[in-house]
Chains A and B, each alone.
Chain A
């Protein structure tokens, strides 16, 4: 399978990365080189093989469903580019 410039722009939109016309052209070539490389996986017979879901066979750890953390709003917003009273500030999303 290979991608065209239109698909690349659509994927960039899904990935929320702004791309210029030149970027999209260049990326099309690069992505096709990688997709061409991974194409060889199709020749592997995987009938009856389960997809891997966990690299080490283990039961996922669970903890008690109780509050173990909190009261650190100042820490959480400390690295944000724009905040006000422990809220993250973003451009207006509702008109």
Chain B
């Protein structure tokens, strides 16, 4: 039997419905793949094998009766940020030690209602704060992609019968994998690695500044952050509530569309959940983009951007033009202020959201001489460095005397960023094309980034504007760099026009193909 883990969701769905395979078979295939790969990749922080097999068995019973849901029997990985009843939910933080919620998040409830199977919880940056998945309490996730180089190999000389040595006269080139370990991006690094390395058919993820799109770009997978309000935030551990959105990471555009359809809903339990029906995103795939107006923002051409990123962008432009789209140059003048504004707004909201981790109601408690001492010791031991840094920044910018200078100013700039987008959409632009990241995946424990937190933050330079304006954005793989690493393009759409993103991303995918890492693990 061929490897069931290689099937896309749409392929598996057809085989499950056609009774060619069972949910139990495909779930077992994933569980054994996780078993073999996880020691090397560290994508899962908890594997729920028994639960997965129970869910698969129930799926099989429904499939036999022809009653399967939209995701019946499809094995998924769930980012550790989503509350899953009775199952490890710690946002990969030490402060939530042992936390097993008594409730299920709306997004995961939607997936289970459609018949999906949970394989386990996926590694991530602690509280989704990071761009490399190195801030996790459970250690870094490893990218299944490695750099490779083209070597010219001289063919060995051959021994001639008469005692002389004659060269075979040939050289050949071969790609050899470098051993250096790379980051999968973050914060949804576990989700991206698990999808890319065939350790789940698809995964849930969340995106506050780029945490779905950047890891998707680093691993050759598709990731979409929908419009703010499209997926319910209920039951998801909060980082920055005005920016957080859930979305899927998948192997191709169609799978991402299938997953988002199930994840999205109108939820009375989230006051920011938008009251709009969820469209059939999959139906948008394959629709022609002839006549569509694609904006190319000049501000995304940043100093020091590697040549291959510019080349990729140009390739993307050419593909869309060839498909009949009209390419227009646009300006989003406040782009450069999005990242600094984000580093006020997001830490401010985080400092407030993370105030609840005090050693009283859940998770870790470190005893102290009085209650304040207990709070301080618990939080000092429970939070990692990056999380503390952001709580400190947030506390500072919200403190008396600084609120206007920092927070209010940032929220005003945020409105200007949003207005930039509104202006180009009002001028008839349907979708905006940009690179997804300023570079390909970098090495684990990169010294420059460890020395300067701002360097790490710059990873989100192309994605963070989208969160600030609440818009939908998708990262789609578009090619490999000279070292053989995947690179992604980003498409940004009007609010609630995810269908346009799927439609356009499918055109890029058709031209670029899909990308799988060479297996070394």
Contact = CB atoms under 8 A, between A and B. Distances in A.
Interface of A: 1, 3, 7-8, 11-19, 27, 30-31, 33-35, 37-42, 44, 46, 49-53, 55-56, 58, 60-61, 63, 72, 75-82, 88, 90-93
A3 B483 CA distance: 42
A2 B360 CA distance: 34
A52 B418 contact: yes
Contacts of B274: 56, 58
Given A52-B415, A81-B359, A90-B374, A16 B102 contact: no
Contacts of A76: 102
B99 A79 contact: yes
Contacts of B103: 75
A91 B121 CA distance: 34
6 cross-chain pairs, A with B, having the tightest CB-CB distances, nearest first: A51-B411, A55-B470, A81-B365, A79-B362, A18-B376, A18-B380
A33 B453 contact: yes
A20 B191 CA distance: 35
Interface residues of B, number: 77
6 contacts: A11-B395, A16-B379, A30-B389, A31-B393, A41-B344, A72-B102
Contacts of B101: 79
A86 B341 CA distance: 43
A14 B399 contact: yes
A56 B470 contact: yes
Interface stretch (B47-55, B132-140, B180-188, B402-410): B402-410
A76 B102 CA distance: 8
B343 interface: yes
A8 B389 CA distance: 11
Contacts of B358: 16
B324 interface: no
Contact of A49 (B368, B396, B415): B415
Contacts of A92: 370-371
Interface in B257-315: 268, 271-275
A17 B374 contact: no
Given A3-B396, A38-B406, A27 B389 contact: yes
B365 A17 contact: no
A65 to B, nearest CB: 14
Contacts of A34: 343, 389, 393, 453-454
B98 interface: yes
B30 interface: no
Contacts of B362: 79-81
Contacts of B337: 40-41, 44
A71 to B, nearest CB: 13
B377 A18 contact: yes
Nearest to B382: A17
A13 B396 CA distance: 11
Contacts of B454: 33-34, 37
A50 B359 CA distance: 38
Contacts of A81: 359-360, 362-365
Given A14-B399, A81-B365, A46 B412 contact: yes
Contacts of A44: 334, 337, 409, 412-413, 416
A16 B452 contact: no
B411 A93 contact: no
A52 B392 contact: no
Contacts of B376: 13, 16-18
B153 to A, nearest CB: 46
A64 B6 CA distance: 49
B46 to A, nearest CB: 16
A79 B396 contact: no
A16 B372 contact: yes
A27 to B, nearest CB: 6
A1 B344 CA distance: 14
Nearest to B97: A81
Contacts of B371: 90-93
A46 B272 contact: no
A51 B395 contact: no
A1 B365 CA distance: 35
